[in-house]
Amino acid sequence: SALAFAGEQQATTLEVLDSPLLAARAADVRDVVGRALRHVSGQVMQKQDLSVLKQPVILLADDLTPSDTALLKPETVLGICTVQGGPTAHAAILARALGIPAIA
């Protein structure tokens, strides 16, 4: 679709920038575009609902989107370790706001 194409173009443009702060926004663009595409197509995303965790965990993931991170509960997610991202990624900023330690 045009939205998917434009979103990927924008994300790719951001990824190659010299600024790590702006390059990190590529994941945010992909997250928003993906959510918008699923919404307009009526698709329900089949993702693990991390908000239902009952036992305290340290979350290990390749990457977390800002929308994933916003649903985390600090009483059950004691820390986050991701392969992707960095201290300026929106997921990291949200984790700090929630009081959840995170490293990438």
- Percent of the chain topping pLDDT 90: 47
- The pTM of the full predicted model, rounded to 2 decimals, is 0.67
Distance between CA atoms of 6 and 104, rounded to whole angstroms?
28
Q: What is the pLDDT of residue 16?
A: 93
Return the C-alpha torsion angle 9, 38, 88, 79, nearest 10: -150
Q: Is residue 103 part of a domain?
A: no
Domain identity same for 54 and 89: yes
Residue 104 lies in a domain: no
Same domain (yes/no): 59, 86 = yes
What is the domain range of residue 18? Answer: 2-41
Same domain, 57 and 94: yes
Give the model's pLDDT for residue 47: 64
**HSE on the CB side for 95, CA within 13 Å?**
27
Query: Same structural domain for residues 60 and 94?
Result: yes
